Structure 1
Amino acid sequence: MRFFGFWCGLLCAVLLTTTLSAQTPQSYSDGKRGEVVLPQGDLSFADTVLAFEIGDAVPTASARNPDAALGPPTYVGNNNDGSFTTLGCNGMLDVQFTDNALIDLEGPDLYVFEVGPDVEGTQLAISQDGITWIDVGGIAGGRSEVDIAGVATPGASYRFVRLIDDGEDCRGRFPGADIDAIAAIGSATRFVLDGSVLFSVDSAVLKPDAQAALNDLANEIAQAGISAFEITGHTDSDGSAEYNLELSNARATAVREYLLSLPALADATATARGAGESEPVSDNTTEAGKAANRRVEIIATSGQ
């Protein structure tokens, strides 16, 4: 059984699922009578299922929904209420962060809430694009705190997490790891700007209407107390890879220069880079997918 959930809806001028300034630390049950405190609250959790492959020894029907692993943890001790996803023996689950990103900070960066009647381990991998994966290693069952230092590229952000059941303890109605939630504690908020709102085709000159969107974004960043952020330009796959890389870099630079020219961000610093077509969020074979891929993203961490 396999599910695909690429985030490919058409983007508005600035997509903000949650207001940055509204984020406050929240405490969550780990399903084992413990508590986990996340600085960005509900924003921290995985948002979308990218792929799900149930392993051998298929679990009971109530535990086969991969969406149960999204959002904050909901398990309260009832193994039959559908509050978690059971992977099955050697099963795999890929999830995506859409309104935030996993980054390497001091200490643990990721929590995996493994619950249910037994405690099983998983193999963990992370990815920037959902295609190339970086192996983090095995993690124990229960509340697992993971530090991605040593495998993460300094300054990089990761949108995807993969969990593969370790193939042990595959018995009963819930064979394999039982996943209630996946949270990025080393989490940065992701702002996504629609490329068609900002730029004309093949242009890196900001449209007049783009200024209103960027003005609002600058105020949001300033109110959240952010003093440093990264701007990345992205394109679809039309044209050569070299051209797309150059265009995306020019667009990211244009956004950077405009944002830093505003009084609200007079004391901020920002970097700009182009990713070209290398980090798609959707399928480049459809017009809707291409539109989603033509974007500018800003990764920012409160209090940087």
Structure 2
Amino acid sequence: MHMNALVPALVTSLALLAGPASAQDGPKDYSDGARGTVTLPQGDRSFADRVVSYTAGTGTISPSASDPRVALGPPDFSGDVNDGTFVSLGCDGTLVLQFEDNAIIDVDGPDHYVFEVGPNVEGTALAVSEDGTDWIDLGQISGGRAEIDLSGVAPADTSFRFVRLTDDGIESGTRYAGADIDAVAAIGSSLRFVLDGAVLFAVDSTELRAEALAALDDLAEEIAAARLDAFRVVGHTDSAGSDEYNNALSQARALAVRDYLSGLPVLSGVTIRAEGRGETEPVADNGTDDGRALNRRVEIIGY
């Protein structure tokens, strides 16, 4: 079975999210809105992909700056504050974004960059999270310092998929209250692939399904095309069963995937690590069948 045949079997939001490297995925420079540039190693793939939540703060927010979806993807502010390319948070407003086809990791130098534009530049508190529930505060960004380094702030070898921006609450007195966000990017960025656990394994099994092997063969080709020299295979479960059982199951499944991938010639010389996270990092509500299905997954994250 070819990977493309598996896509319908994957829940849309957890399909194979990262494809082969392309021209737009290589290093690319972006205007920072202040006559400077920011270089992102993974190009257009580096930007946030989904709005999780947006809570507008107080103050006046023009209709052209009230749609949080414009903060997704690469920056595109034209210089005209009415162009509808940024979202204003409002005083004390909050925006939570998710990265789907990549993850934020700690590399040498800055790891995270916020493209703030608009008529004024306001202070914004930045936080990151693995699961969208437990947050690590990274401090304030404002003015010329719109970049953040995870080193010494977040645990090493951790990847983050969620970013939260909170305005500092200082009234700006314009029609664009609060920080004005054009885009949010991961400078320290790694590709992230997600596979539905049901595609890989039978219920409670740690043995790879025969039909899953061809899918993993195709995935290995995609990883090789992305030129990853090291990655983690991370197993996840839903909340059914004990913590001990789920930890052991997720670890065994991650090992099974790692062992298969490490035996493929196309990944020869690539360092592959296996981890089991059990039920500790849900991406959906474990109170529903659909949510539990989303949580039963295997992720592959480069580092």
- TM range, normalised to the smaller chain? over 0.9
Residue 13 and residue 187 in structure 1: after superposition, are their counterparts in 2 closer, same or farther (change >3 A)? closer
Q: Tell me the alpha carbon deviations over residues 139-180 of structure 1, each in whole angstroms, 9 at most, x when there is no partner.
A: 113561111111111111000111100112432201110000
Letter matched to residue 21 of structure 2: L
**Contact conserved, 2:122 with 2:178, CA < 8 A, in 1?**
yes
Q: Which residue of 2 aligns with 1:71?
A: 73
Q: Structure 2 matches for 1:199-218, cutoff 5 A?
A: 199-218=201-220
Q: Structure 2 matches for 1:75-94, cutoff 5 A?
A: 75-94=77-96
SS at match of 1:28: strand
| Normalised TM-score (structure 1) | 0.92
Paired with 1:80 and 1:144, the residues of 2 have a C-alpha distance of 22
Q: Structure 2 matches for 1:115-130, cutoff 5 A?
A: 115-130=117-132
Q: Which residue of 1 aligns with 2:37?
A: 35
Q: Which residue of 1 aligns with 2:4?
A: none
| Normalised TM-score (structure 2) | 0.92
Letter matched to residue 200 of structure 1: A
- 1:231 corresponds, among 230, 233, 239, to 233
Aligned residues: 293
**Is structure 2 residue 174 aligned with structure 1 residue 172?**
yes
Paired with 1:18 and 1:266, the residues of 2 have a C-alpha distance of 20
Structure 2 unaligned blocks of 5 or more:
1-9
Paired with 1:26 and 1:133, the residues of 2 have a C-alpha distance of 29
Paired with 1:131 and 1:289, the residues of 2 have a C-alpha distance of 16
SS at match of 1:20: coil
- 1:100 corresponds, among 89, 99, 102, to 102
SS at match of 1:259: helix
Residue 13 and residue 266 in structure 1: after superposition, are their counterparts in 2 closer, same or farther (change >3 A)? farther
Residue 211 and residue 25 in structure 1: after superposition, are their counterparts in 2 closer, same or farther (change >3 A)? same
SS at match of 2:292: helix
Residue 13 and residue 219 in structure 1: after superposition, are their counterparts in 2 closer, same or farther (change >3 A)? farther
Residue 230 and residue 17 in structure 1: after superposition, are their counterparts in 2 closer, same or farther (change >3 A)? closer
By how many angstroms is 1:90 displaced? Answer: 0.7
Paired with 1:133 and 1:202, the residues of 2 have a C-alpha distance of 31
- Which range moved further: 20-29 or 194-203? 20-29
By how many angstroms is 1:223 displaced? Answer: 2.6
**Contact conserved, 2:30 with 2:75, CA < 8 A, in 1?**
yes
Residue 24 and residue 58 in structure 1: after superposition, are their counterparts in 2 closer, same or farther (change >3 A)? same
Q: Which residue of 1 aligns with 2:20?
A: 19
Q: Which residue of 2 aligns with 1:3?
A: none
Residue 267 and residue 293 in structure 1: after superposition, are their counterparts in 2 closer, same or farther (change >3 A)? same
**Is structure 2 residue 252 aligned with structure 1 residue 250?**
yes
Percent of aligned pairs sharing the same letter: 58
Paired with 1:141 and 1:91, the residues of 2 have a C-alpha distance of 18
> How large is the Cα RMSD of the aligned pairs?
1.6
By how many angstroms is 1:16 displaced? Answer: 3.0
Q: Which residue of 1 aligns with 2:146?
A: 144
Q: Structure 2 matches for 1:184-203, cutoff 5 A?
A: 184-203=186-205
Paired with 1:174 and 1:229, the residues of 2 have a C-alpha distance of 42
Q: Structure 2 matches for 1:264-303, cutoff 5 A?
A: 264-301=266-303
By how many angstroms is 1:184 displaced? Answer: 0.1
Paired with 1:141 and 1:282, the residues of 2 have a C-alpha distance of 36
Residue 13 and residue 136 in structure 1: after superposition, are their counterparts in 2 closer, same or farther (change >3 A)? closer
Paired with 2:13 and 2:265, the residues of 1 have a C-alpha distance of 25
Letter matched to residue 113 of structure 2: Y
Paired with 2:133 and 2:171, the residues of 1 have a C-alpha distance of 29
SS at match of 1:226: coil
SS at match of 2:250: helix
By how many angstroms is 1:213 displaced? Answer: 0.9
Residue 60 and residue 11 in structure 1: after superposition, are their counterparts in 2 closer, same or farther (change >3 A)? closer
Paired with 1:214 and 1:173, the residues of 2 have a C-alpha distance of 51
**Contact conserved, 1:13 with 1:197, CA < 8 A, in 2?**
no
Q: Which residue of 1 aligns with 2:159?
A: 157
**Is structure 2 residue 55 aligned with structure 1 residue 53?**
yes
